[in-house]
Amino acid sequence: MMRKFLAVVLIGFLFGAGMALANTEALDGKTFVGQIGKAGRTKGDKDQFVFKEGTFRSAACDPYGFKEAAYTTVPSENATAFRAEAASPKGDKMVWNGMAQEDRVSGTAVWERPGKKPVEYWFRGELKE
């Protein structure tokens, strides 16, 4: 009985993960141009959010050593939620949670650095033509 339960849970998990990974096609090949800024501020810095071959990259984070990171998606009726965790060689991590809807993207990113308080950012952009 326990084996059947675990098998069902495992299959459900794998199916759900597969659905999320398979849907990267909804964003792959798209680049959004916009801004990223610290939470609580209204103006930010220019940025490009690139979805390519199952990876996500924020161009504004390149100077800090962050590379492209694998991303997952969860589709809904009229939007696609996504999540990515990018790392830098210094051990920093950027955790991205966003929503892409038609020709726009927006969300939050949290910069986690060892021994420091996490810093939260907002981001938004429009599809690059």
**Domain span at 62:** 2-127
Q: Taking 80 as the threshold, does the pLDDT of residue 87 lie above it?
A: yes
pLDDT at 9: 34
Contact 56, 84 (CB under 8 A): yes
Using one digit for the tens of pLDDT, what is the confidence trace for 28-57? 999 999 999 999 999 999 999 999 999 999
pLDDT at 24: 65
Q: Taking 90 as the threshold, does the pLDDT of residue 3 lie above it?
A: no
Nearest to 83 by CA among 62, 61, 66, 107: 107
- Domains held by the chain: number: 1
Mean pLDDT of 82-96: 96
Mean pLDDT of 73-86: 92
Contact 32, 104 (CB under 8 A): yes
